[in-house]
Amino acid sequence: MKKRRILYVGNNLRGDTTNITTIETLSQQLRGEGYEVVTTSSKKNKVLRILDMLVTVFRHRRTVDSVLIDTYSTQNFYYAVAVGYLCRWYKIHYIPILHGGNLPHRLKKNKSLSQTLFHGAKTNVAPSQYLEYEFSKEGYTNLTYIPNTISISEYPFKDRAHFRPKLLWVRSFAEIYNPMLAVELIERLMASIPEIELCMVGPDKDGSLEKCKSYAESKKLPVRFTGKLTKREWRVLSQEYDLFINTTNFDNTPVSVIEAMALGLPIVSTNVGGMPYLIVDGKDGKLVPPNDLNRLAQGVMEVLENPTQAQELAQQARSKAESFDWEKVKLAWGELLKE
């Protein structure tokens, strides 16, 4: 059967201030399955980007079978609204892919626009059961759960017998991800664990990187900042560390956490958004209240002081991460796109 032609709309940006996005990874994976995929937009200027998106939809309006739209809770929500409007005008099937743990807030804040966008879609792809639940709670029934995905063969599991106080944090430096909490954690634990270290990987989004650097330098904290790394670079780097922390205040199902689970790093994460749908506290990771330095420190200490339990957490997390492998997830995309 002839594979279908897809237009994928999203922030197809590359640079020092952006991590790899879904549009880049998923478009490559779909092409690998034989789909013809056109992507837009790589324009850095926001106005030029949305114009490029709309022009691309118009140009391909008669040749594409479906339009995928990366849909976020931030200002980028409005480009999804605009693209969705154009798709409805030309009677093109469109599928928003839901991103960001704060999208439920957007449903309430922009109720009318949300209803027009999401009710008008062929379906809305929820990459987490959290967003699937939140959307269904608001009355949306055209939902399809397809999780974020990784290629599990690229993530070698490291079976650690000992867990050193070497912590890893991987995310964009932005206030919503609360990177300062990770730095403050090191300050809190240094008195009881003098050999503790933290490595923070990711680009700066809103000035948070410089704030973290300045604080760490002023307190002489053992915190390493690598800036943005490729996935391969941080996978290699992860072998030097023994625990992964996720400090965010809002979240969906972050790929970086799934990757850490696959690599064998025990996870200590804030219990927000989609995290309790991804991690079962005490089974395949530890969950603590958001922005709670004491509980975060306690969670880290529990992992470091109980290596047998840490091993079990890591092994269970690896088993769960295997369910996100592209070889499994691609079947759901195949079913959706053939309709």
Q: Which of the four pLDDT bands, split at 50, 70 and 90, describes residue 12?
A: confident
pLDDT of residue 74: 85
Average pLDDT of the chain is 94
pLDDT of residue 338: 87
Is the model's pLDDT at 108 over the cut of 70?
yes
Residue range 220-271, pLDDT digits in tens? 999 999 999 999 999 999 999 999 999 999 888 899 999 999 999 999 999 9
Q: How far apart are CA 228 and CA 242, in angstroms?
A: 20
Residue whose C-alpha is closest to residue 296's, from 239, 228, 248, 259: 248
Residue whose C-alpha is closest to residue 49's, from 20, 79, 23: 79
Is the model's pLDDT at 323 over the cut of 80?
yes
pLDDT of residue 107: 94
What residue has token string 């949300």? 114
Q: Which of the four pLDDT bands, split at 50, 70 and 90, describes residue 111?
A: very high
Q: Which two tokens stand for residue 335?
A: 């079913």
Q: Which of the four pLDDT bands, split at 50, 70 and 90, describes residue 21?
A: confident
Residue type, 58: F
pLDDT of residue 101: 81
Residue range 79-88, pLDDT digits in tens? 999 999 999 9
Q: Which two tokens stand for residue 42?
A: 């790589």
pLDDT of residue 75: 86
pLDDT of residue 211: 98
Residue range 24-58, pLDDT digits in tens? 999 999 999 999 999 999 999 999 999 999 999 99
pLDDT of residue 18: 55
Is the model's pLDDT at 339 over the cut of 70?
no
For residue 84, give every residue at least 6 positions away whose Cβ sits within 8 Å of its Cβ, in sequence order, or none: 69, 94, 96, 116, 117, 120, 121
Q: Residue 24 is inside which H or E element, if any?
A: helix 22-32
pLDDT of residue 15: 54
pLDDT of residue 252: 87
Q: Residue 323 is inside which H or E element, if any?
A: none
Half-sphere exposure of 332 (CA within 13 A, CB side): 17
Q: Which CATH number fits domain 152-323: 3.30.70.380, 3.40.50.2000, 2.60.40.1120, 3.30.70.370?
A: 3.40.50.2000
Please give the backbone phi and psi of residue 201, each rounded to the nearest 5 degrees, phi first.
-115, 130
Cα 84 to chain centroid distance, Å, stands at: 23
Is the model's pLDDT at 321 over the cut of 60?
yes
Q: Which of the four pLDDT bands, split at 50, 70 and 90, describes residue 10?
A: very high
Residue range 244-253, pLDDT digits in tens? 999 999 888 8
Is the model's pLDDT at 17 over the cut of 60?
no
Is the model's pLDDT at 16 over the cut of 60?
no
Q: How far apart are CA 180 and CA 151, in angstroms?
A: 31
Residues in the chain, how many? Answer: 339
Q: Identify the DSSP state of 225.
A: E
Q: What percentage of the chain carries pLDDT values higher than 70?
A: 97
Is the model's pLDDT at 331 over the cut of 90?
yes
Q: Which CATH number fits domain 5-146: 3.40.50.2000, 3.40.50.1820, 3.30.9.100, 3.40.1000.10?
A: 3.40.50.2000
Residue range 112-171, pLDDT digits in tens? 999 999 999 999 999 999 999 999 999 999 999 999 999 999 999 999 989 999 999 999
Domains 5-146 and 152-323 share a fold: yes
Residue whose C-alpha is closest to residue 40's, from 29, 27, 31: 27
Q: Residue 120 is inside which H or E element, if any?
A: none
- Tell me the whole-structure pTM to 2 decimals: 0.92
Q: What percentage of the chain carries pLDDT values higher than 90?
A: 91
Question: Quick one: 132 exposed, middle or buried, by C-beta within 10 A (0-12, 13-18, 19+)?
Answer: buried
For the chain, which residues make up each domain, given as ranges? 5-146, 152-323
